[in-house]
Structure 1
Amino acid sequence: MKRIFIGLVALFIVVLGINSSSFKTIKTAFAPSITGTVAGEATEQKEITVILDFGEGKAETYSAKNAATVLEALEQTAKDNNIPLFLKEFSFGTLVETIGSKTNDKEKAWVYYVNGQTAEVGADQFEVNTGDIIEWKYEKIN
């Protein structure tokens, strides 16, 4: 009987030792984290200018804060200002189909510029920096 008890205790210790790494993972996964700033320390906010150029001389300027990408800045602007925005997801990225009352067609489409330059990647992949000026222009396409 004593041998069985010692054998069970030894087995329990072995099993506990094998699984101890998973217990540590669970413990750290749920451990509280402390975040925030020190008193008097300012947090940097990313501020981006978003210009929506609807063509025919109608352009509106907005400000977006803390967006990571051109698309996030546009989505934030549309949401904050009740501007209709329709997007279409593709395997290569997200296409902006409609902003306000202007929808892409055979002749015109929404094209974005960052600091006056066209981009080589989709709006969902272009990372923005503080002070960037993003222009969405509804313009003729070739």
Structure 2
Amino acid sequence: MGGSTLSNKNRAEIYGVIVALLIVIVAIIISHIFSVYKVRESTSSSCTPIHFTLVINFYTYTPDKYGDVYLIWENGSLDLKNSSTTTWEFRVVHNVTTVYEALAYCCNTLNVSFRATYWEKYNDYFIEEICGVSNGIDGRYWQFWVNGEYSSVGANHFEIHNGDYVEWRFEKQS
């Protein structure tokens, strides 16, 4: 026989090496996914209402509705105070599980728009606009913090818990 054909033993060895490499690659990818999309340990249930505060800080940018006010919404009651900047504060008891769901609930409560783009690659949403204030103005973008800490994961991957303080800020990228 010619020297160009592989014996069954050589084929089995090559196949074994390929399978081992694929297993290592998959393990690396899975490890990366869990490190990028880490979420806090789950203690809440989507069926159990939780108490949380969500703040939307527009700073000096004026939304389409409720501009130049400090707005407080609590238990169906709306309080508006004149202000040189626009901040909305929601004190809520509702059955949401993620920061994205909390934002959607609060915007729907006030009947104001928000626009988000779903990124399949990340299985998450990118908030593009809240009530007419869009990303990119003066290099500013919508970003969020939970309990004073900037989030490194997307809003749909960050689970909120009873007593959490969520703040959306329209500012330059951190």
Which TM-score applies when normalising by structure 2? 0.54
Q: Which runs of 5+ in 2 are unaligned?
A: 1-46, 61-84
Residue equivalent to 1:128: 160
Structure 1 stretches of 5 or more lacking a match? 1-42
Aligned ranges 1:10-49 → 2 under 5 Å = 45-49=49-53
Q: CA RMSD in A?
A: 1.7
Shift of 1:73: 0.2
Q: CA deviation at 1:45?
A: 2.6
Q: Give the alignment of 1:53-64 within 5 angstroms.
A: 53-56=57-60, 57-64=85-92
Whole-angstrom distance in 1 between the partners of 2:160 and 2:90: 15
Distance 1:44 1:86 in 2: 27
| Structure 1 segments (4+ residues) deviating >2 Å | none
1:49 touches 1:63 (CA, 8 Å); kept in 2?
A: yes
Write the distance in 2 (CA, Å) between the matches of 1:49 and 1:117.
Answer: 15
Distance 2:114 2:150 in 1: 21
Identify which of 128, 143, 146 aligns with 1:97: 128
Larger radius of gyration: 1
Quote the residue 2:173 is aligned against. 141
1:7-66 Cα shifts (integer Å, max 9, x gaps): xxxxxxxxxxxxxxxxxxxxxxxxxxxxxxxxxxxx963011110100122111013412
Q: Percent identity?
A: 27
**TM-score (structure 1 length as normaliser):** 0.66
Indicate the residue corresponding to 1:70 in structure 2: 99
